[in-house]
Structure 1
Amino acid sequence: MQEERIVRGGGAPRRVVEVVQDRHGNPIEIFDPPFYRNEFEDAYRFIIDDYVVAPREIGLFLPCAVRKPYSQSPSHKLFRRIIDGVLAPADYHIVIFGTCGTVPAELECMYPYRNYHYMLGKATDERIRRDFHRIEVYRLKGYLEKTRETYRHRLAYCIGPFRKAMVEASKATGIAVDLLPSDPMIERLYDIDCPFPEGSLSMQGYIDEFREGLEELAGEIRAGDTTALEGCPERRGPARA
């Protein structure tokens, strides 16, 4: 077992609990859970209480990534290529959520969001997973309420614990958030023998649905259609939280 060590500087000391490798073999130090830390709550309160989010047609909610800044992670580079291939930049706003809390993407380099590495999927302590859900639902609820009039459509691309938190926050606030990938696609790609049975959001089936969902939103914007997505009986797009 690897000996834990303390990293100092850039805020309060953090424990390094594990070292993993990215796909290029570069080591990444994994810290203790960030969602318990005061600096993450302080940053969240700044976003909720003081930060001004510019209105957009679509709020796109993407899960956080181990590599920082988020936009430079392989998964987010892929997501952004797909988004930019379908939507005009003026039509959408990206929000990062997960173990970081709820963060407008343009703040990804603000402390502490660039200064931590954590993988909830590796957590085996059920108390930590329950605490994450409780804290993230609270933070998502706050952000959804803050931006109730900011977006006309909301789409969250997520699976696993992040998806469960988004579903609960959406129900609690009464603010609709469309979800991708679809439940049938998640069930089709589910592999009980894998360490992460729902797989990765970079898997082709998930990516194809993400692109299709964005294309439907783009079509509605171009047509000036403000009807709720679920109101179109013929559509095969996102489920709604």
Structure 2
Amino acid sequence: MGDGQRTGEYLPRGAVKHRALTEEPFYLPQFEEAFRYILQEYPLRENDIAIFLPCAVKKPYSASPSHRLFRRVIGEVLEPEDYQIIIFGTCGVVPAELELMYPYESYHYMLGKCTDTRIREDFLRIESYRLACFLDRTRDLYRRRIAYCIGVFREAMAGACQRSGVEMDLLLPTRPTIERLRDIDCPFPDGSLSMKEYIDEFRDGLLKMCQPASPGDPGAGRR
């Protein structure tokens, strides 16, 4: 499916399109309704590889500097028809081709700047649940899965995998690399997913995904 066709057709009941949303998006009913639409009505397609990427502050996601870099790396390794990009994070869970759908193009929020422990814990609980629902719904749609994330987004993904019983074939960057690069004196100790060391691991992981799955590989026989 690759990038697919972006669409902005769906609009939750009572929503005002183009209204800027600045509250924590994971609390808002617009995001829950849009997530339910994706989970229950949107025609998700089978694909070989699902690539889970964290959402970005700049909208649409594909226009953000980080996502442009991620997509460039993906495009160097995979053909568009071989993968599906899934965006997750404070937005919930959304196939990349729906990035222009309300409310995903209409909010501005950065969890990394939040110092309220309760809000961060709420995010982790809500997002782990939504990701688990999505993983369960799509357990037979994708042969292999890779997630590229750090920090609390990584925690949410790990919790969702445990809750759903659907594992990532690769969860990148690897824990040893994250720990080696961690700087506790920085506002964002784990750094940025655009860092060269992380990007190199992401590229290597995608190359690994291109290799045919053998009977002993985690992705073999997933369908």
Question: Higher relative contact order by CA 8 Å / sep ≥ 6: 1 or 2?
Answer: 2
Structure 2: 5+ residue runs without aligned partners?
1-14
* 1:10 and 2:1 correspond: no
2:125 counterpart letter in structure 1: R
Q: Deviations over 1:159-209 (max 9, x none)?
A: 000000100110111111120000000011100110000000000000000
2:47 aligned with 1:56, yes or no? yes
1:105 aligns with 2:96: yes
1:9-47 Cα offsets, whole Å, 9 max, x none, are 537774xxxxxxxxxxxxxxxx22111000000000000
The answer to whether residue 132 in structure 2 is matched with residue 141 in structure 1 is yes
What SS does structure 2 have at the residue aligned with 1:103?
Answer: strand
Q: 1:186 aligns with which of 175, 178, 189?
A: 178
1:103, CA displacement in angstroms? 0.3
Among 162, 166, 181, the alignment partner of 1:171 is 162
* Aligned-partner Cα distance in 2 for 1:225–1:56: 18
Q: Deviation of residue 52 (structure 1)?
A: 1.2
Larger radius of gyration: 1
Q: What's the offset of the Cα at 1:95? A: 0.1
Output the CA distance in 2 between the equivalents of 1:67 and 1:183: 27
Alignment length, in residue pairs?
205
**Equivalent residue number for residue 211 of structure 1:** 203
Moved over 4 A (4+): 11-14
Percent identical among aligned pairs is 57
Measured in 1, the distance between the counterparts of 2:150 and 2:204 equals 17
How many angstroms apart in 1 are the aligned matches of 2:63 and 2:19? 25
Aligned counterparts of 1:59 and 1:128: Cα–Cα separation in 2: 29
SS of 1:94's equivalent in the other structure is: strand
Q: CA RMSD for the aligned pairs?
A: 1.8
Q: Provide the rounded CA distance (Å) in 1 between the counterparts of 2:88 and 2:20.
A: 23
User: Retained in 2: the 8 A contact 1:157–1:179?
Assistant: yes
Equivalence for 2:217: 228
Q: Which runs of 5+ in 1 are unaligned?
A: 1-7, 15-30, 232-241
Aligned to 2:12: none
Q: Distance in 2 between matches of 1:227 and 1:41?
A: 38
**C-alpha distance in 1, partners of 2:83/2:52?**
10
* Shift, 1:216, TM fit: 0.7
Q: CA deviation at 1:228?
A: 2.7
Residue-by-residue CA offset, 1:101-140 (whole Å, 9 max, x unaligned): 0000000000000000110000001110010001101110
